[in-house]
A and B are shown apart, each in its own frame.
Chain A
Amino acid sequence: MIRVVITGAGTINALGHTVPETLHAMREGQLGIGPLQMRDLDRLSVKIGAQIKNFDPESHFDRQKLALYDRVTQLTLLASREAMVQSGLEITEEQSETTGVVLGTAAGGMTTWDDNFRSVYEEGKNRVHPFVVPKLMTNAAASHVSIVYNIKGPSLTVSTACASSNHAIGLAFQMVRSGMARVMLAGGADAMLTFGGIKAWEGLRVMSKTACRPFSANRTGMVQGEGAGVFVLETYEGAKARGAEIFAEIVGFAMTSDASGIVMPNQQGAARAIRGALADACLSPQDIGYINAHGTGTAANDKTECAAVAEAFGAHADRVMISSTKSMHGHLIGGTGAVELLACLMALREGVIAPTIGYEHPDPNCALDVVPNVARQAKVTAIMSNAFAFGGLNAVLALRAV
């Protein structure tokens, strides 16, 4: 069997513009959520979010490029650049056909949709910029990554709401493991913090107006974030041969569908995905030291997720650490699993477990070790990362230290 390892990581999110900045924030339990800054804020009832601060697109991309890059593409390209630089990988002409990119996004070019709807509906304009379609299409980010890095193998975008990144990373893992590709860039991004994007989430009435407090009895809902996370996946043999630094090995992936509610999570579907990833990885619950939870901070998710972990892990559920870093970086929707994988790499490589911040009161329905408020030193050799999407599509990854 071909072994698959991660040799590069990149991100930009509310906690930092790079991986080191993000991991520092996670270690310190910093809060990336704050008052939103955007037009027409007075018309929103949800006024907080995890926005990326001090981000100046012009300092990274020239005018011609910006005409084609929606915010989500910009964020993806910055994360990809960091991951590629860190991996030290040069994609030669010969390697380009065995290299691909799979990215997850729920909304794609939301800013472009938002701005142009305003222009034609509100301002009554009858003409839009010629690049609106290539800018907003959900595969734009994956396509631009392939263009920038001369990637000519299997490339696509997956869109499974809040599980998009985990599905993308899982598919890329399977492509390398099966021999379909030798190198894959994988991860995801979303930039839904637009007026229309927030309005849509507001409508569902699951958003908190104060803070994201996963697993805490007084939680009041989810908080939206934005950003990107991208990883370089390659064969263990290839990474060894070129002397690359190996961050971790991806050993298992499973996806399941609930076939029940369009927004309500389902314990059986989630537990089946957790068990499936363990089986795929040939690991038992006792091997897992840390779970990065989906942990949205909604009553429905947190209760169901804890019950699913208890079901899949049995007695070991009381010993495994499980935290939700969404409490810090918010819910990046389709990009969330990628940024959360950084917390998993930190656990495996540095022995630091990122905390669930904002935790105030224990909830008997979430009676697991949620690593409240303060990061913890602990040696773990295998971890899992959960993602349970609206629509009942679940994707769970299992990783091991190398």
Chain B
Amino acid sequence: MSVKDKVIQIIAEQALLDAADVRLSATLEDLGIDSLGVVESIFAIEEEFDIEVPFNANAPAESEFDISSVSAIISAVEALVAEQT
């Protein structure tokens, strides 16, 4: 499974949706994921890829990790995974 598919799977699970229903342009809010859900999703991503995600819930917009949309999250995770290898 690619990084992209794995991230979508994690988000889908958090949003209680089928992976097929997670649009790349959607924001987490669109998918019904609240702030607690965001923190839990990031934890799941860290565990899945064994990476550290720089994210502070106090200032999501200023965090280095872009969570503005599903595709932004996928790119950010791909970058972190690439850095690691």
Contacts and interface: CB of A to CB of B under 8 A. Distances in A.
Contact of A220 (B35, B43, B52, B58): B58
A205 B59 contact: no
Contact of B36 (A208, A221, A263): A263
B55 interface: yes
Contacts of B42: 205
Contacts of A205: 39, 42, 55-57
Chain B contact-residue range equals 10 to 19
A203 B35 contact: no
Interface string A193-220: 0000000000111101000000000011
Contacts of A262: 36
A221 B56 contact: yes
Nearest to B39: A205
A210 to B, nearest CB: 10
Interface in A261-297: 261-264
Contact of A204 (B34, B52, B57, B59): B57
Interface in B20-78: 34-36, 39, 42-43, 52, 55-59
A298 interface: yes
B39 A299 contact: no
Contacts of A219: 58
Determine chain B's interface SS by DSSP, over half rule. loop
A206 B36 contact: no
Interface in A341-369: none
B35 A264 contact: yes
B57 A206 contact: yes
A220 B56 contact: yes
Determine chain A's interface SS by DSSP, over half rule. loop
Contacts of B35: 263-264, 300
A204 B39 contact: yes
Interface in A214-261: 219-221, 261
A220 B59 contact: yes
Chain A contact-residue range equals 10 to 19
A298 B59 CA distance: 9
Contacts of B59: 220, 299
Contacts of B57: 204-206, 221, 298-299
Contacts of B36: 261-264
Contacts of A45: 52
Report which residue of A205, A219, A263 has the largest number of chain B beta carbons within 10 angstroms of its beta carbon. A205
Nearest to A209: B56
Contacts of A220: 56, 58-59
Interface in A291-350: 298-300
A321 to B, nearest CB: 24
B58 A221 contact: yes
A307 B26 CA distance: 30
Contacts of B56: 205-206, 208, 220-221
Contacts of A208: 56, 58
B73 to A, nearest CB: 15
Contacts of B55: 205
B70 to A, nearest CB: 20
A261 B37 CA distance: 12
A205 B43 CA distance: 10
A261 B36 CA distance: 9
Interface of A: 45, 203-206, 208, 219-221, 261-264, 298-300
Closest CB pairs A-B (n = 9): A205-B57, A299-B58, A221-B58, A206-B57, A205-B39, A298-B58, A220-B58, A205-B55, A205-B56
22 contacts: A203-B39, A203-B43, A204-B39, A204-B57, A205-B39, A205-B55, A205-B57, A206-B56, A206-B58, A208-B56, A219-B58, A221-B56, A221-B58, A261-B36, A262-B36, A263-B35, A263-B36, A264-B35, A298-B57, A298-B58, A299-B57, A299-B58
Given A221-B58, A263-B35, 8 more contacts: A204-B39, A205-B55, A205-B57, A261-B36, A262-B36, A299-B58, A299-B59, A300-B58
